[in-house]
Structure 1
Amino acid sequence: MTTVALLGLGVVLPSPGASATAAADTTPPTAPAAPRTSDLSCTAVTFSWSASSDNVGVAFYDIYHDGQLMTSVPGTALSARLTVAPGATWGLYVNARDAAGNVSQASSTVTVAVPQCQSDTEPPSTPTGVTATASGTTVTVRWRPATDNVGVTGYEVLRNGTQVGSTSGAGTTSFTDSGLAANTRYRYQVRARDAQANRSAASTAVAVTTGGSCATAVCSVTKVTTETDLPWGLTTLPDGQVLFGRRDAFEIVRLDPATGAKTVAGRMPGVAGTDGEGGVLGLAVATDFAADPWLYVMHTTTTDNRVVRVRYTGGVLSGTPQVLLTGIPRNKYHNGGRLRFGPDGKLYISTGDGQNGEWAQDLANLAGKVLRINRDGTIPSDNPFGTAVWSYGHRNPQGLAFDSQGRLWEQEFGNNVMDETNLIVRGGNYGWPRCEGTTGSCAEAGFIAPKRTYPVAEGSCSGIAVVRDALYIACLRGARLYRATISGDSLTGVQQYLNGTYGRLRTVEPSADGGLWLTTSNYGDKDSVANNSNESILKVALGQ
């Protein structure tokens, strides 16, 4: 067995040039088996696995944690020494890849809890200089930085003694609290935390009284219901009722916004999880749904990701789903999954790269793309390549939304550097895997630059929505909602809301009354176990 020592992340062995023999090979290797760890320290771990088999031969093993590529090693290696982050909890897994670029399904996930390099029981100092200023029903809290013997990693904001938000990083010393009651007095405190969860005492409280009406973009947030499974796709029907998917339970649920009552409309047949992010994903309905009631669903099977449609009549799913598009590569992560009807009546579909970056540049492959099909699954005659492909060079896009000019905006997960917001054009190449955000070989001819980027630690954003030409972006790791004004082909006036208030935000969708729906993904979003979550579906009232 060969062991490869790796001193950092992001070390990738490039895919070899495909020979005539390799190009004819379309059979992927089997999934690596028996993944395991050993020799764990605060900075490194040895990750091992049993060999995959392949009809020609395994050329590489690609090692990931939680959907992020760490490194690739030769096919002769069955272990690697990986650099890890002190105090992190990561899910490690490995895929096999052959010389033709065929990628296996992933191994099972091994969770590694990395110890700290030194014990630290000393809390940070208490933040000082706390102020709170009201603008309508929004309050902005500011404070001076705290200090720590090792380092401050963030702050927690308390309203009336209860934590309502958090910030990450020692340099972020402000927080916006939105959607408060009018003409109401609130008390705010701030406490600092370090990497080992030591917390300072709460600061001296400051009081502020809100104004008589909302004067900001986010006016109120209401928890309409909770969920034990992951609410991933969500769409609003013409009568104002909401349908959402339970990703790992494979069910479609009808939600009454007025009462919060939920009714299972049906269970999608033929769905399979991926021990990661597969399952029932995006949902969409066309503008003429009342006359032609099809529900469009993207979901994972045991062999692929696909798009189907099923009748929704009398409040329930009926009949056998019609399969519209198959053969979208699936894997543990990187399945994409968002659906959106455009003003042209076509169905747009975001697909992940299936954990094979080269597929994103392969126009013969449906992975790493934005696709466009007619509602019956046929290919529109004006698609740029005569296939379902509308744009390419994407890593894992999970957000699609159209603005008032009919332009398509897209949100895309980066690997470990930058997330992207892109303005999609017909036939456009957005650069992955050669370019991530604005890093890498982004100057290559033909690559289209993103309109905005976000550090992965402040992003990992999934769904997007456009309301009155403001773009709203829901972020998982960043645990916040971004709002940006669409001005020409730029995004301006970017603001952050709900930072740490509700945790990881997955889906944001327009509501029937001009507001937003938000869903969370705080628990169980990295496995395929049904009903192991504790999520919220939130209704957001918007102001200016």
Structure 2
Amino acid sequence: MYNIVNALDLNKKLPLWLAIGAFIFGITAFNNRKSHSKVSESDLFIVDTLAGDLIVPWGIIFLPDRTMLFTERSGNVRIYRNGKLVSAPALRVKEVNPSRKMGLLGIAVHPGYSKNNFVYISYNYKTDNRALLRVMRYQFRNDTLVQPRLIIENIDANANHTGSRLKFGPDQKLYITTGDADRPMLAQDLKSLSGKILRVNDDGSIPPDNPFARNDTARKEIWSYGHRNIQGIDFQPVTGFLFCSEHGPAGGDEINHITKGLNYGWPLIHHGETRQGMVAPIIQYTPSIGPSELVFYQANAFPGLKGNLLLASLRGESITRLMLSKNQIIGQEVLLKQSYGRLRALTVGPDGYIYFSTSQIDPPEGKIRPGYDLLLRLRPARKRVQAIKASSAVSGTQTGSTLPRTSGNLYQQLCAGCHGKNQDGTETAKSFRDDIWEYGSGKKDIIKNISEGIAEKGMPAWQGALSKKEIESIVAYITAQKN
């Protein structure tokens, strides 16, 4: 369980949201498809459903005129304006490859948009049967994204670990996150762009102050490396510190404070481990919460959240509020726990309200629900009630308890989602209980498959995340059940 942290003074901060009770969220019935204004005066905030029947709204931005643009992983950039979803997409990316977790992903607006109308997107595509990631720049004119310009491409990707958030920093540079493409050692390879945070100018050129700009044995776009699969980045107001959220292996999800040129360890360290020359996370989560987008809250609609870092989560199906002192987490609180399913995009609108999306069309973890996926908005209610006090506590370096790393538990955590709890297969992967083993049923073959993964099937590589002994124990578990 997470700690609910810090007793909040009503005169200074917003009352603890979740302590009021889960009944608050019952006001958002999807079938209505409109804002829900008929609520009890005792409610602290309201969740509105802005749009439904979407396909994984992956990123959300706002333009200066308050027009919202968001990506759907299927390949559309959509427009939401004046309380309505515009029927025609601003862009359909024809070459997008939307297999599993891949597709149209990140979106960012140029800090000088009022002068140049620049919008950036990232998406997966295929060349010679290779899954790759590309970042493009467009101009938004007459509700259409036009004049495409390539920023960067040919970044190795994969059905699971492909990133990719885009964010402009206070330095006016574009920061791009990439996954390790299910090939863990790429994260340590400075000649590869995978498993990295990249930093480029707004036209894709290399800033001369990048850490490897003068290194002929490294890619000059790299800002930091040793990342597994970063799903969110944002800059802390005042300090300018960069933070990211990152998926770990079998737990070990991370929040990292990013420093120029440093190595964040994957796959050589994880789950809060340390090693000389590598940076451990400021907090890690085991069991996994599946962290997605994060954003610092600096608006006035929820004054009690000012300066807090908000984190959407997929497996955790929640928004986590993180309280920081400079680059250290001093407390946390979980919001919207298991109210709407897997949460993917998260941002703050010009009105100070919190906008987020669901990610249920996410095989094999996500289960499609009627009317999903959703675009949602959280806003304050008209009247706030007296705060409910909670005892203060400081978060530790780990939330929750780790399941024993036995062969059965490891199988259920890592393999059951695709191969079934009883190894009888799913729509995603075949059964282990028959004699049809496409990639070999011998011990040596299974060890190789678990260690190196099967990229074309979207199977992750677990070498580095698991010890040789743990991999062998999973093989023994699989073959024992088969027999």
Match of 2:230 in 1: 397
1:272 aligns with 2:272: no
Match of 1:513 in 2: 351
Cα drift, residue 524 of structure 1: 4.0
Query: Does the residue aligned with 2:187 lie in a helix, a strand or coil?
Result: helix
CA distance in 2, matches of 1:454, 1:136: 25
More strand as a share of residues: 1
Change (3 A) 1:160 1:484: closer
Counterpart selection for 2:243 from 409, 424, 431 = 409
CA distance in 1, matches of 2:149, 2:348: 27
What does 1:57-72 align with in structure 2 at a 5 Å threshold? none
CA distance in 1, matches of 2:256, 2:65: 32
CA distance in 1, matches of 2:176, 2:347: 16
1:377 aligns with 2:204: yes
Higher relative contact order (CA 8 A, sep 6+): 2
CA distance in 1, matches of 2:69, 2:376: 14
Query: Does the residue aligned with 1:378 lie in a helix, a strand or coil?
Result: coil
Query: Does the residue aligned with 1:436 lie in a helix, a strand or coil?
Result: coil
Cα drift, residue 483 of structure 1: 0.5
Cα drift, residue 257 of structure 1: 5.0
Q: Is the 8 A contact 1:307 1:323 kept in 2?
A: yes
Letter in 2 for 1:400: I
Q: Is the 8 A contact 2:227 2:265 kept in 1?
A: yes
Match of 2:262 in 1: 428
TM-score (norm: length of structure 1):
0.59
Q: Is the 8 A contact 2:241 2:327 kept in 1?
A: no
Change (3 A) 1:526 1:233: farther
Cα drift, residue 234 of structure 1: 1.4
Cα drift, residue 525 of structure 1: 4.8
Counterpart selection for 1:290 from 105, 114, 127 = 114
More helix as a share of residues: 2
Cα drift, residue 418 of structure 1: 1.3
Cα drift, residue 296 of structure 1: 0.5
1:229 aligns with 2:55: yes
CA distance in 1, matches of 2:379, 2:23: 23
Match of 2:68 in 1: 242
Deviations along 1:198-220, one digit per CA (max 9) or x if unpaired, are: xxxxxxxxxxxx37xx4xxxx33
Deviations along 1:74-125, one digit per CA (max 9) or x if unpaired, are: xxxxxxxxxxxxxxxxxxxxxxxxxxxxxxxxxxxxxxxxxxxxxxxxxxxx
Change (3 A) 1:163 1:360: same
Deviations along 1:279-301, one digit per CA (max 9) or x if unpaired, are: 10000011111210121011111
Query: Does the residue aligned with 1:298 lie in a helix, a strand or coil?
Result: strand
Letter in 2 for 1:418: G
1:299 aligns with 2:123: yes
The count of residues paired between Structure 1 and Structure 2 equals 344
Cα drift, residue 139 of structure 1: 5.8
Letter in 1 for 2:314: L
Q: Larger Cα Rg: Structure 1 or Structure 2? A: 1
Match of 1:388 in 2: 221
Cα drift, residue 266 of structure 1: 1.8
Q: Is the 8 A contact 2:263 2:279 kept in 1?
A: yes
Q: Is the 8 A contact 1:229 1:533 kept in 2?
A: no
Letter in 1 for 2:138: V
Cα drift, residue 515 of structure 1: 2.4
Q: Is the 8 A contact 1:242 1:256 kept in 2?
A: yes
Deviations along 1:43-78, one digit per CA (max 9) or x if unpaired, are: xxxxxxxxxxxxxxxxxxxxxxxxxxxxxxxxxxxx
CA distance in 2, matches of 1:537, 1:161: 17
CA distance in 2, matches of 1:352, 1:228: 24
Counterpart selection for 1:466 from 283, 296, 304 = 296
CA distance in 1, matches of 2:87, 2:81: 7
What does 1:13-24 align with in structure 2 at a 5 Å threshold? none
Could you list the runs of 5+ residues in structure 2 that have no partner in the other structure? 1-9, 30-35, 214-219, 299-306, 388-483
1:443 aligns with 2:274: yes
Q: Is the 8 A contact 1:246 1:253 kept in 2?
A: yes
Counterpart selection for 1:540 from 366, 372, 378 = 378
Computed over aligned residues only, the root mean square deviation of the Cα atoms, in angstroms, reads 3.0
1:359 aligns with 2:192: no
TM-score (norm: length of structure 2):
0.66
Letter in 1 for 2:285: Y
Deviations along 1:340-374, one digit per CA (max 9) or x if unpaired, are: 00010000001000001100011110000000000
Query: Does the residue aligned with 1:380 lie in a helix, a strand or coil?
Result: coil
Change (3 A) 1:401 1:138: closer
Identity across the alignment (%): 32
Letter in 2 for 1:423: H
Q: Is the 8 A contact 1:311 1:318 kept in 2?
A: yes
Query: Does the residue aligned with 1:323 lie in a helix, a strand or coil?
Result: strand
Cα drift, residue 516 of structure 1: 1.6
Deviations along 1:255-281, one digit per CA (max 9) or x if unpaired, are: 1153455541121242223x3211100
CA distance in 2, matches of 1:539, 1:161: 14
Large movers: runs of 4+ above 3 Å: 134-139, 157-164, 179-184, 259-263, 524-528, 530-533
Cα drift, residue 532 of structure 1: 10
Letter in 1 for 2:236: D
Letter in 2 for 1:464: L
Letter in 2 for 1:301: Y
Match of 2:313 in 1: 475
Match of 2:405 in 1: none
Change (3 A) 1:488 1:230: same
Change (3 A) 1:533 1:139: closer
Q: Is the 8 A contact 1:331 1:354 kept in 2?
A: yes
Q: Is the 8 A contact 2:79 2:85 kept in 1?
A: no
Deviations along 1:294-348, one digit per CA (max 9) or x if unpaired, are: 21011111031011111211111223x2111112101111000100000100000
Cα drift, residue 443 of structure 1: 2.6
Q: Is the 8 A contact 1:520 1:537 kept in 2?
A: yes
Q: Is the 8 A contact 1:242 1:257 kept in 2?
A: no
